[in-house]
Structure 1
């Protein structure tokens, strides 16, 4: 007798698949029909193949028709006009899969919601994992999970989409002192992005190229509520009344993302 799996079971099995990945982002996929598992796949199971493609290519067109695909990450879309490899969204559409159940939307600004929308526009039903499983997937999919806050020193690439990205700056895991910053107005053509905080909180460390060169963060003049940053620039954020400051260096500007490095400093 063939076991019949519930939708929650299938979500969990796709998570088990993505935990098999040895590189980030982790992605797992399951294809089922009438509660029976037809195939599974995970990113990297076959060289340079996404999890959805791995699972799909294990099946015949007849098996795929009217099936349901569970994937822990939003299916990719074509990001270049001359892209040689078919995107997962296009592959799903061509395979006549009737429904796709997604764990989390891809935070990459080039893909974010695009795969989801393309499936809907091609009459494929889309649903999402339940909230608890989405949170579990988020923590395990990306190398650092979704970024809502930063603590201690670090480096990260994040998307800047729509109205921007807000972050809570916390001094350390055990020290809860915090304040807010925001990245917005990304202009990749001109190579800049705006770092925003409260009025008078942001200073540009003119002339500095490394954090170690900054012995006194508050020696820099002309505080403002924002800094228009280009690659290599360092800014210092210190809101009125704060007992620590944030040093930020913009490492790279991409089409929809930035990479930045940060460090916290206590104020004496």
Structure 2
């Protein structure tokens, strides 16, 4: 597991992924994302071995192996590659938060009689912190843009004012309905206001001019909302940028409440 993390830290692109292939206590091959351009880390490592060497091996990967993202995909997914290769076990660092992949690679391995286990909690935490460009996927600060999954009961986020200023407002994305082009943004009761008519954050000079506070806003692409719970000293502007089957892209900006 530690050797896989060492490989993972060699990556100069996100998400970082490191892989080690071992058998009978011996390391047979390693690989990391970016080692070979546009080739996933699992494939990089397995290409270094013969079919006989791979048979019965254990693969340690810091990120859940990917699955096919669309029907008729030309390149075999990493999960399918591992199944077809004859490995005996896959040890995973963290599940991929990409809503299209989340738990699907794990499930596919199990359904095909591959033994699956996970890194220990301490190492999982280390992997989580270093795998994704934004570190903790459940916390943002300042201003920016991010793609996040919205699966099952939704995704909760802490919006922190800045890296040094630890004031926090909690938000949640839920009830993603891609067929209808909408997703729900919620926070504390009465904290959310739709900035009706606003096209971007620069159009908003005072968040309180917008009436009808609510505990949630049903957001469509391009819509701007304001989140300001009672008794907070700052507020968050949020715009839904794009919506996908299992994910969204949103922008945010924090402002002091003057």
Classify the TM-score, shorter chain: over 0.9
Q: Distance in 2 between matches of 1:242 and 1:47?
A: 47
Q: Deviations over 1:108-135 (max 9, x none)?
A: 0000000001111111111111111111
**2:24 aligned with 1:28:** no
**Distance of aligned partners of 1:28 and 1:198 in 2 relative to their CA distance in 1, 3 Å threshold:** same
TM normalised by structure 2 equals 0.97
SS at 2:97 equivalent:
coil
Give unmatched runs, 5+ long, in structure 2: none
The residue correspondences of 1:6-21 to structure 2 (distance < 5 A) are: 11-21=1-11
> Can you list the C-alpha shifts for 1:209-237, whole angstroms capped at 9, x where unaligned?
11111111110111111111111111001
Shift of 1:142: 1.1
State the shift of 1:12 in Å: 1.1
Q: Tell me the equivalent position of 2:148.
A: 158
Counterpart of 1:39 in structure 2 is 29
Q: 1:101 maps to what in 2?
A: 91
Deviations 1:152-193 (A, max 9, x none): 112111110100011122222333322321100011111111
Aligned runs of 1:53-92 on 2, under 5 Å?
A: 53-92=43-82
| CA RMSD across the alignment | 1.1
Partners of 1:220 and 1:75 lie apart in 2 by: 45
* Equivalent position to 2:218, from 228, 235, 246: 228
C-alpha distance in 2, partners of 1:187/1:146?
25
Which residue of 1 is the match for residue 172 of structure 2? 182
Which has the higher mean CA deviation after the structures are superposed, 34-43 or 15-24?
Answer: 15-24
Tell me how far 1:33 sits from its aligned partner: 0.4
TM-score (normalised: structure 1): 0.93
Aligned-partner Cα distance in 1 for 2:163–2:136: 17
Counterpart in the other structure of 1:215: 205
Runs ≥4 residues deviating over 6 A = none
Q: Tell me, in whole angstroms, the C-alpha distance in 2 between the residues paired with 1:254 and 1:127.
A: 30
Task: Look up the match of 2:158.
Answer: 168
Say which is worse superposed, 83-92 or 16-25, in terms of deviation.
16-25
Q: Which segment drifts farther, 114-123 or 176-185?
A: 176-185
Gaps of 5+ in 1: 1-10
Secondary structure of 2:180's aligned partner: coil
Structure 2 residue corresponding to 1:130, chosen from 103, 120, 129: 120
Aligned with 1:41: secondary structure?
Answer: strand
The CA deviation at 1:256 is 0.8
CA deviation digits over 1:65-100, x for unaligned, max 9? 111001111001112111000111111111110000
Task: Write out per-residue CA displacement over residues 18-71 of structure 1, whole angstroms, 9 at most, x where no aligned residue.
Answer: 222221111111101011011111112222111101111111111111110011
